[in-house]
Amino acid sequence: MSQDFIKLFKGNPITVMAVIGSLDKVGIVPIVKNPAESARLAGFGSMTSEQSIWIHSDEKRKAIEVLKSLEL
């Protein structure tokens, strides 16, 4: 990822969906990296189901407030 983006959160797919929904409500559109899906599409296996959420660094303050409100 470019230096313009920061990793906000890493977790299981259910929690990631909840965080994405909350970010969407405040106008933040995150990038979700899913190594298991990428491996599957490339024809490989993966032992992890964790996904990570990346946001633009300009939205960091607002995104952290969203995470705090979710109490993760």
- Residue 59 tokens read as 């939205």
- Domain at 39, CATH number: 3.30.70
What integer pLDDT is reported at residue 45 of this predicted model?
83
Instruction: Write down the pTM of the prediction.
Output: 0.86
Range of the domain at 32: 5-70
Residues 6+ apart with CB under 8 A from 40: 46
Task: Give pLDDT, residue 48.
Answer: 84
> For the chain, what is the domain count?
1
pLDDT at 2: 60
Please tell me the predicted confidence (pLDDT) of residue 40: 87
Low-confidence stretches of the chain (pLDDT < 70) are 1-2
pLDDT attached to residue 1: 56
